[in-house]
Amino acid sequence: MVAQASQLGQKGAWYQKWLVHRKLRPESFAGRIENHHSGKKSYDIHEDLLKCDAVSRLMSANRNCLLPIAYAEGCPTHPSYPAAHAGTAGACATILKAFFNEDFVIPNPVQTNLDGSALEPWQGESLTLGNEINKLASNISLGRDAGGVHYRTDGSQGMLIGEDLAISMLRDYSRTYNEQFDGFMLTKFDGKKVKVVKGEVVSV
């Protein structure tokens, strides 16, 4: 079911990318800022953006407004919003939370020491399975922001698209059980608990 949700998350993201939003990638937008700033083209870009600290720092460091990114080949050639990684992560995380006890406390967690050379006992609040699944989905969704190929909203909203699609899949499956089935329970990314049973999604 996780693999099926993954595919739904991808399809949902690609539908939104091509048939709804077609949002410009950060690299391409920075190129427009550079062309506008240099006078080669004129775009309707708000003055606050043209005068912001990020543009000033780029000009000081590189003598242009182009966005340095982590990938030598540049951004992917498909639209930015929503991030397909995020759609997949949101969908898969939702399925996992529906099947496993989100409140399970992970026993004996560890963390790295200050220089990363060894592991030591975790020194924070208890780590629950549900929160760790959410953390994993968030890291997958937002990790490419640091590479310069996505905006934050591409990831955060992409996760919600994946979540919605996975819940709709669970809703469909909940109608197919011959045996007594109490339904799927899960906590959404916004913290609200829902139960999916007999084709319905109800708040708990």
By CB atoms closer than 10 A (0-12, 13-18, 19+), residue 127 is: middle
Q: How far apart are CA 158 and CA 164, in angstroms?
A: 10
- Listed in order, strand segments (DSSP E) in 87-154 are 110-112, 119-121
Task: Indicate if 21 belongs to the active site.
Answer: no
Residue of 36, 46, 85, 150 marked active site? 85
Amino acid (one-letter) located at 146: A
**Catalytic annotation, pick one of 36, 37, 46, 78:** 78
Q: Report d(CA 192, CA 117) in Å as an integer.
A: 39
Cβ-contact 174, 196 below 8 angstroms: yes
Reference 154, options 137, 142, 136, 164; nearest CA is 142
85 is catalytic: yes
In the structure encoding, which two tokens stand for residue 9, read together? Answer: 């998350």
Residue 105 backbone class (left: φ over 0; alpha: ψ -120 to 50; beta: rest): beta
User: How many CA atoms, within 13 angstroms, populate the side-chain half-sphere of residue 64?
Assistant: 11
Give the active site residues.
78, 85
